[in-house]
Amino acid sequence: MLMLVFYIGKNLYAIESSRVVEVIPRLTYREVHHVPEYVAGVFNYRGSIVPVIDLCRLIRGIPSKGFLSTRVMMVSYPQPDGALRYVGLMAERVIEALDKAETDFKDTGIQANTAPYLGGIITDKKGMIQRIRLEQLFAEVQPINLIAAGV
């Protein structure tokens, strides 16, 4: 399975690349009020208004830094009616793709109830890389209706 690798602070994370439509530079977003702080805002993505979730803020509580390598990974999210919606996931130092088998990810033995999207870990030459499970991440942000409503 091909994974896209990025940093959140000093730690490495990865998401499955089959859901990644495009990786784009960090942009200026329109602020959205009365939503959790990890929602960086919304922007026009190819004619659709799309929310952007700052993974650094979601996971560490600190906004992404403005590195040149800070990127937004545009991922597709299937709706119950079969339509695809998009959401941007912002992270620091989106650096490379990594090909690992599903079985290579090992359970950490720790599961935070407040972050069910944090999955297993693999050890690579760069260090430990933790998987972010997109289905659980989408379920986590679903209650704020950014994805379901298509903003």
Q: Which string of b and e fits 104-129 if b means at least 16 CB within 10 Å?
A: bbeeeeeeeeeeebbbebbeeeeeeb
pLDDT for the residue 63: 94
Determine if residue 108 is left, alpha or beta; phi over 0 gives left, psi from -120 to 50 gives alpha, anything else beta.
Answer: alpha
pTM for the structure as a whole: 0.86
Q: What does each of the 151 residues of the chain score in pLDDT, given as a tens digit?
A: 899 999 999 999 999 999 899 999 988 899 999 888 999 999 999 998 899 999 999 999 999 998 888 999 999 887 778 888 899 999 999 988 989 888 888 887 666 666 788 888 998 888 899 999 888 888 776 656 555 444 4
Could you identify the residue written with the tokens 């704020």?
Answer: 144
How far is 77 from 14, CA to CA, in rounded Å? 17
DSSP string across 3-66: EEEEEETTEEEEEEGGGEEEEEE----B--SSS-TTEEEEEEETTEEEEEEEHHHHHHSSPPP-
Structure tokens at 2: 């091909």
- Confidence (pLDDT) at 148: 47
At position 41, the amino acid (one-letter code) is: G
